[in-house]
Amino acid sequence: MRSGPWQRARALLARSPTAVNVGTLMSGTVLSQVIMLLTQPVVSRYFGPQEYGSFVAFMAIPQTVAVIAGLRYDMAVVLPKRDADARKLVRAVLVIATIASIVTSAFTWAAAPTIASWMNRPELAPWLGWSGVIVWATATVNLMGYWFTRTINYSAISANRLQQAATVEGARILAGATGHAGGIGGQMFGQVLGQVLAALTMLWRGRDAWRQDPSTVASGRKRATTRRAEDEEAPAASTRALLRRYRRMPLFNAPNALVDAVRTNGIVLLIGLDYTVAVQGQFGKAWLLMQAPLALINGAVSQVFFQRFATTPRGQMRALVDKSVRMSLLAGLIPFALLGVISPWLFPWYLGDQWELAGQIARALVPWLYLNLATSPISTVFVVADRQGAMLTFACVYAAAPLAAIALLGAHGIGIVTLVWIVSTMMAVLLAGLVLLTRRVATQWDAAVPPTAGWDAPA
């Protein structure tokens, strides 16, 4: 009897661990994005462009700090051969991120009037002290995500994304329905509640990562099959030695992440300074909803390919880069083509007439975000190949270009839609160049003679 399509699909998945892992992550990512999209017609009618503009201005600070709250040592969790060393890194990052969060809250609380005045958003002053809470929650979720990537427990990451989306959007709707739609209080309530619960859930589910005695936890989780038993029998490294060993993370990766965060959040802040708070909200909403197809594809592919790039032997990196680029671009071709056509009328129909400008901005973002599909998963090649310096150089150019364009063109009164088209096209060209740069780095890494000691060697 000939096998049907379902049987053939199951056989294909059984032969492809990557497809299984992508599918697991995609399930949670898809459902979380579905929740966000389904609740937007309600949320966007409770919180209009002006309220949303104030909220995205507030989020610029914690989102910028959160990416470096753990000094990027969170990414190093997947690298040690020994799980015991990885656990020490987890505990160290938790301490570092907690200190960074406390400092952030103290600073933003003390300097709240000055910060709010500089942002031209005086209504934010009473809320800025909450920045540290969001920093801690975001950094913790990111850290535990890398631990679950190490242990190939993608179902935990998937479930957490679903939980966070449901909590954040549900709390916002509740705030709006109970008359707390003015200002940013209702949105803050949902954001803080959702992110803190997500962080606590991840800490509990991954408690074997930060407990001193992981044997007290039931061992039903999956383990990476590529780690050999003799690696666990090697002498344990101290936490200080591990931080020294992976010092390139704070030295190169943290500045790179900071530059990216400054670019993303700096764009929002500059638009708020050059235009009205309502225009800032329109851009923020367009950016949020256009991230949905990006997150659906890249959220899963990036997580899985980071683990594969970290373990790929020399001679196979270039082929893996090409495979990642093809997979991302093919997956995003139809969704982004459709969005480029229907966004101008889809946004006001779905969100309300007040969001018409967001639809036009969304169309202008298509070239940029489509090329971002190709570059997000492969960016970790620079970490594995020990070429963070090259990535940092590109990141600086990639950040300076849109910020300079917005500052120059916005100050001369150019329309927001035209401005976004110019910036989006420029960024798409730069990302195409990044693909070529990544392929070159991968080729050089494949051809190089392996060092006598790799990531796990004492520096």
Instruction: Indicate if 23 and 138 belong to the same structural domain.
Output: yes
In this prediction, residues 315-342 reach a mean pLDDT of: 90
Residue type, 431: L
**What does the pLDDT read at residue 458?**
39
73-97 pLDDT tens trace: 999 999 898 999 999 999 999 999 9
Instruction: Indicate if 237 and 321 belong to the same structural domain.
Output: no
* 335: pLDDT strictly greater than 70: yes
* 3 domain-assigned: no
Answer yes or no: are the C-beta atoms of 383 and 73 closer than 8 Å: no
* 363 domain-assigned: yes
* 346: pLDDT strictly greater than 90: yes
* 389 domain-assigned: yes
As a whole number of angstroms, the distance between CA 158 and CA 75 comes to: 18
**What does the pLDDT read at residue 300?**
57
**What does the pLDDT read at residue 363?**
97
* 458 domain-assigned: no
Instruction: Indicate if 242 and 349 belong to the same structural domain.
Output: no
Instruction: Indicate if 196 and 269 belong to the same structural domain.
Output: no
As a whole number of angstroms, the distance between CA 75 and CA 256 comes to: 13
* 67: pLDDT strictly greater than 60: yes
What's the N-to-C CA distance of the chain in angstroms?
60
In this prediction, residues 225-246 reach a mean pLDDT of: 69
Range picked from 8-12, 381-385, 421-425 for highest mean pLDDT: 421-425
Please state the domain count of the chain.
2
Least confident of 122-131, 178-187, 230-239, 343-352: 230-239
Instruction: Indicate if 124 and 32 belong to the same structural domain.
Output: yes
**What does the pLDDT read at residue 307?**
65
Instruction: Indicate if 264 and 404 belong to the same structural domain.
Output: yes
Which pLDDT band holds residue 230 (cuts at 50, 70, 90)? very low
Instruction: Indicate if 260 and 236 belong to the same structural domain.
Output: no
In this prediction, residues 219-234 reach a mean pLDDT of: 45
| Chain Cα centroid distance, residue 448 | 31
Q: According to DSSP H, which parts of 385-455 are helical?
A: 388-411, 416-447
Instruction: Indicate if 145 and 283 belong to the same structural domain.
Output: no
Which pLDDT band holds residue 292 (cuts at 50, 70, 90)? confident
**What does the pLDDT read at residue 299?**
60
Least confident of 99-103, 274-278, 323-327, 380-384: 380-384
* 361: pLDDT strictly greater than 50: yes
Look over the chain and give the mean of its residue pLDDT values, rounded to a whole number: 85
As a whole number of angstroms, the distance between CA 170 and CA 173 comes to: 5
Neighbours of 454 (CB within 10 A): 11
* 53: pLDDT strictly greater than 80: yes
Among residues 1, 163, 131, 2, which one has the least CA distance to residue 59?
131
* 455 domain-assigned: no
* 410 domain-assigned: yes
- Coil/strand/helix, residue 315: coil
What residues make up the domain containing 304?
250-448
Please give the structure tokens belonging to residue 131: 């920045």
Instruction: Indicate if 60 and 172 belong to the same structural domain.
Output: yes
Which pLDDT band holds residue 421 (cuts at 50, 70, 90)? very high
In this prediction, residues 104-115 reach a mean pLDDT of: 97
Instruction: Indicate if 190 and 254 belong to the same structural domain.
Output: no
Least confident of 14-23, 281-290, 319-328: 14-23
* 12 domain-assigned: no
Which pLDDT band holds residue 450 (cuts at 50, 70, 90)? low
Instruction: Indicate if 383 and 240 belong to the same structural domain.
Output: no
CA–CA distances in Å: residue 28 to residues 137, 156, 205, 373: 19, 9, 16, 19
* 287 domain-assigned: yes
**What does the pLDDT read at residue 316?**
87
Place of tokens 């059984």: 14
The residue among 21 and 157 whose pLDDT is bigger is 157
**What does the pLDDT read at residue 23?**
59
Which pLDDT band holds residue 353 (cuts at 50, 70, 90)? very high
Answer yes or no: are the C-beta atoms of 425 and 367 closer than 8 Å: yes
Which pLDDT band holds residue 301 (cuts at 50, 70, 90)? low
Least confident of 47-56, 156-165, 310-319: 310-319
Instruction: Indicate if 234 and 260 belong to the same structural domain.
Output: no
389-413 pLDDT tens trace: 888 899 999 999 999 999 999 888 8
Answer yes or no: are the C-beta atoms of 247 and 459 closer than 8 Å: yes
